[in-house]
Structures are given as structure tokens and as C-alpha cells.
Amino acid sequence: MKGRKSEHPEQQPSARKDPDEWKTGDESMTGPQASYLHTLAQEAGEPVDDSLTKAEASKKIDELQEKTGRGRDH
């Protein structure tokens, strides 16, 4: 019996929208974003700009996840 998940998730369209297209992307980053960003930045040995927008924080989180190997399936 097949489950609901596709056997080939790489063929599924991404449900994730580009942060540049977010309607609220220019608002201040959220508390959870700031917390996770600080955690990643500490692990990566990088400073954090606390004035980032939601979209900028999302991009920085992606960048730091790549750098630290956290939060991503490799």
C-alpha cells in the first residue's frame, strides 16, 4: 500500500516561496527567526545584524545552514 508521500520528492514542486516575493518580507524578522539565526551565527562564528527583515533573515539562515550543515538534508 502506497503512502501519501511521493516516492520521488525531488519531482515535487517546491512549496517554498522565494523570500523576495513574500508580502511581509520587508517586516522585521520574527522572534523565532532571530533566535535560530543567532544560534547558527554563533556556530558559524559570524556576527548577526539584528535589523534584518524577514526576507533577509530567511536568506541568511539558508546561507548559515549551508555553512554549518544544520537544518538541511545532505
What are the distances in angstroms from CA 30 to CA 1, 34, 49, 54, 60? 41, 6, 13, 7, 13
CA gap 53, 68 in Å, rounded: 22
Domain count within the chain: 1
Residue 28: phi and psi, rounded to 5, are: -60, 150
Q: Which domain holds residue 73?
A: 28-44+52-74
Give pLDDT tens digits for 5-16: 545 444 455 567
Tell me the pTM.
Answer: 0.71
- What angle separates helix 31-44 from helix 54-68, to the nearest 10 degrees? 30
Q: Where are the beta strands (DSSP E) in 1-74?
A: none
Q: Do the domain assignments include residue 17? A: no
pLDDT 10s digits, 15-64: 678 887 888 888 999 999 999 999 999 999 999 999 999 999 999 999 99
Note whether residue 64 is domain-resident: yes
Residue 69 domain-assigned? Answer: yes
